[in-house]
Structure 1
Amino acid sequence: MMNIGVIGLGYWGPNYVRIINELNESIVEYCCDLDPNNLNKVNDLSASTKTTTDYMEMAKNPNIDAVVITTPINTHFKIAKDFLLNGKHVLIEKPFTNTSKEAMELIKIAEEKNLILMVGHVYAYNPGVQKLKEVINEGIGDLYYVRAERMGLGPIRKHANALWDLGTHDISIATYLFDSMPESVSAEGVSYIQANVEDVAFLTLKFPNNVIYNIHSSWFAPEKIRKTTAVGSSSMIVFDDVNKSETIKIYDRSIDKSLLDSSPEYSDHQSIVSVGDIHIPLVEQSEPLKNQVKHFLECISKNKQPITDGYAGFKVIKILEAAEESLQNNGRRVQCQ
């Protein structure tokens, strides 16, 4: 039985407490939050869990095997470093750290102490995204471009813009799908609601082989959209995380470029465009966050490298840093390799 500590009981923290206690191999031993009202939530979830406002109590406790950190991003580095230095395995929510320099320091400490350091890029544990990667790898012809949309009305953040809050998910999906870094990025955004915090942002990642990955992030939009569209030369795929009954759709649609200039008549475009069936494969319905926690525990018990290890988190932060540089320079393209 693994004894886990959870730090931060705002939005994600209680979900982690519930999941950890539901699993047979783990239990929440300790919870920490600066707000006593948040600590009171733990009593409804687990009466036996100890609570504190000082996370160092947990870091120094020899009974704690690992910790989950769900605090604001500006606290991630110090808290994670303190736990790693005290010999605890760490799962830290996205975004990993404020800077790539901080990310690399945590990676080095974890490696020196042979500890598991994992970043909560939950979409890597989403069955829909896993299916999307599988279909792309099996072949949709030449991959041309990907369009990701993540928007809704709130929640509005004060300490991170829409790219760092929402766009982080789609950046992590991109690096997970392609197992690589983009060559360059460009980003534009506007602060409509509060000064100096972009609530809408458009990010373009340019990957090798001229693959464009465009990301639209906003918490100032009329409806909740969580959709990724991948377009290839022989077929196209849509991943819709809101539509649980049709999470993945594969469209047998393409364009015969060899016929493109065969006729000057507009009506003859039908001979160029190929429209086939739409396939809706079965996608397992399991809770991504629970899948992520189970993977974290398995990596600890078997000393395995996590799918979203520190280096995966480092890549995402490097891309976000390049995106921030582009934002501050009116969308200028920035190299990020």
Structure 2
Amino acid sequence: MKKADTGAPLGVAVVGAGYWGPNLVRNFQASASFRLLWLCDLDVARAQRVLGGYSTVEATADYAHILADDRVDAVAIATPAATHRDLALAALEAGKHVLVEKPLAATYADGRLLVEEAARRGLTLMCDHTYCYTPAVTKLRELIHDGVLGDVHFIDSVRINLGLVQRDIDVLWDLAPHDLSILDSILPEGVEPEAVAAHGADPIGAGRCCVAYLTLRLTGGAIAHIHVNWLSPTKVRSTMVGGSKRTVVWDDLNPAQRVAVFDRGVDLAAPEELADQARQQMLISYRSGDMTAPALTEREALSAVVEEYAAAIHARRPALTDGRAGLRVLDVLEAASRSLEFHGAVVGLRGAR
């Protein structure tokens, strides 16, 4: 009987000891749902430094050796996006469940290959869209899905800072996956992006876009706007979701009030149909109600990612941010890149829900 059927801790290997790998190591090591067995990195000395006092975990540069280890039920990949397809595909072919750091793959085609392979083998494929597991985004999703905000009218997201200009990707592929994954996570059933237009600039001559603006047309006429920027002297992490009933604002840099719900907005009402069938005039009224700040239970988002990974494996169900969620993000990213090439042209999406 497989461990996924017994509820026993799952053997897991982390691949990549760079920026994100140590965080995965720490959270898997702290989880009762997993037993961390391996840390794999081409630089074994770096992996050993990351492990430090974790004497029960072995370091190796031999990925094939990990995949041949029957004790390993699952892998977590934290390597550059260009390597995701080959590493994840090899793990799936070896019968391992797979957690992949964002983005799921370097291209939509590669991502679709992984999704199809996981489905064919009945394995869990999950994308590490960490922000979707923060208490704030969990609250946003709850407010929207429970109808507290009403119909979604607009979403505005800003993710800017004086950041590291990447060598291999532009700001769109570096920062926007966070906001696109959040958007995918919080949108209600039946509402999804249909098309995107993107504008960007490289004012410092870096050879890649350093500032970008994405505008997404959503089902039902709503709109979403995302601003990502490596060149801002100030750091801003904010999202606003406006609905027909209420508006919620998430300010990730305000620990005292991360989420605020405003009962303020504009209402439209049409008068009774006139007897002479004359054109109706819309009546506009302004609503100015209370602001509430719901309490959030603080927790490390990556810990919630790890537990969701285990729960999805044991229950044989899609994770909240499963492979298809990662594929939908890639759909928008590729369409936005095409839009940039054609100076902001509107590009339709494939739709992967």
What's the TM-score, normalizing by structure 2?
0.88
The one of 14, 39, 42 aligned to 1:34 = 42
Q: What CA RMSD, in Å, does the superposition of the two structures yield over aligned residues?
A: 1.8
Output aligned runs, 1:148-227, within 5 Å.
Answer: 148-178=157-187, 179=189, 180-193=191-204, 195-227=206-238
Measure, in 1, the Cα distance between the counterparts of 2:76 and 2:152. Answer: 37
Aligned to 1:316: 329
In the alignment, does 2:106 pair up with 1:106? no
- Aligned residue in 2 for 1:23: 31
* Distance of 1:164 and 1:102 partners within structure 2: 15
SS of aligned partner of 2:159: strand
Structure-2 change in CA distance of 1:3 and 1:192 (3 Å): farther
* Runs of at least 5 residues in structure 1 that lack an aligned partner in the other structure: 260-270
How far 1:185 moved relative to its partner? 0.2
98-107 or 39-48: bigger deviation: 39-48
The residue aligned with 1:139 is: 148
| 1:54 matches 2:65 | no
Secondary structure of the 2:321 match is: coil
Counterpart residue number, 2:74 = 66
Report deviation, 1:281. Answer: 0.6
Task: Check the 8 A contact 1:18/1:45 in 2, yes or no.
Answer: no
Counterpart Cα distance in 2 of 1:17 and 1:38: 13
Contact residue 17 and residue 45 of structure 1 kept, 8 A: no
Please give the per-residue CA displacement for 1:132-173, whole angstroms capped at 9, x wherever unaligned. 122123232442211001111213322221111110011111
SS state at 1:169 partner: helix
Aligned to 2:128: 120
Matched, 1:8 2:8: no
1:291 aligns with 2:304: yes
Q: Shift of residue 233 of structure 1?
A: 3.2
Provide structure 2 residue ranges, at least 5 long, that are not aligned to the other structure: 1-8, 271-283
CA contact (8 A) 2:31 2:306 kept: no
After TM superposition, give the deviation of residue 2 of structure 1 in Å.
1.6
1:65-114 CA-to-partner distances (Å, cap 9, x unmatched) read 11000100000000000111111110001001111111111112111211
Following the alignment from structure 2 to structure 1, what is the Cα–Cα distance between the partners of residues 258 and 53? 31
Residues 42 and 49, structure 1, Cα contact 8 Å, conserved in 2: no
Q: Compared with structure 1, are the counterparts of its residues 43 and 112 closer, same or farther at alpha carbon in structure 2 (3 Å cutoff)?
A: same
Corresponding residue for residue 293 of structure 2: 280
Cα distance in 2 between the residues matched to 1:297 and 1:312: 18
Q: Which whole-Å deviations, capped at 9, do the CAs of 1:191-230 have from their partners, x for residues lacking one?
A: 2345332121101111012111000011221222211001
More helix by share: 1
2:321 corresponds to which letter in structure 1? T
Shift in CA distance, 191/6, structure 1 to aligned 2, threshold 3 Å? same
Tell me which residue corresponds to 2:319: 306
The structural deviation recorded for 1:33 is 1.4
Please say if residues 33 and 307 of structure 2, whose CA atoms lie closer than 8 Å, have aligned partners that are also in contact. Answer: no
Question: How far apart are the structure 1 equivalents of 2:302 and 2:51?
Answer: 22
Identical counterparts, % of pairs = 35
Partners of 1:73 and 1:98 within 8 A in 2: yes
| Separation in structure 2 between the aligned mates of residue 80 and residue 224 of structure 1, nearest angstrom | 33
Q: Secondary structure at the match of 1:246?
A: coil
Which amino acid letter does the alignment assign opposite residue 149 of structure 1? V
Q: Please state whether the residue corresponding to 2:206 is helix, strand or coil.
A: coil
Moved more, 298-307 or 85-94: 298-307
Tell me how far 1:18 sits from its aligned partner: 0.4
Deviation at residue 37 of structure 1 after TM alignment:
4.5
Q: Which residue of 1 aligns with 2:105?
A: 97
Preserved CA contact (<8 Å) 1:181 1:315: no
Alignment of 1:226-237 (within 5 A): 226-237=237-248
Deviation of residue 39 (structure 1)? 1.3
Distance 2:348 2:17 in 1: 37
Cα separation, 2, equivalents of 1:54 and 1:157 = 28
Give the aligned length: 326
Match of 1:239 among 229, 250, 261: 250
Measure the CA separation in 1 of the matches of 2:118 and 2:151. Answer: 39
> Structure 1 residues 14, 194: CA separation in 2 closer, same or farther (over 3 Å shift)?
farther
Q: Which moved more, 1:132-141 or 1:162-171?
A: 132-141
Instruction: Give the 3-state SS of the residue equivalent to 1:14 in structure 2.
Output: helix
Question: 1:303, 1:274 → 2: CA distance?
Answer: 46
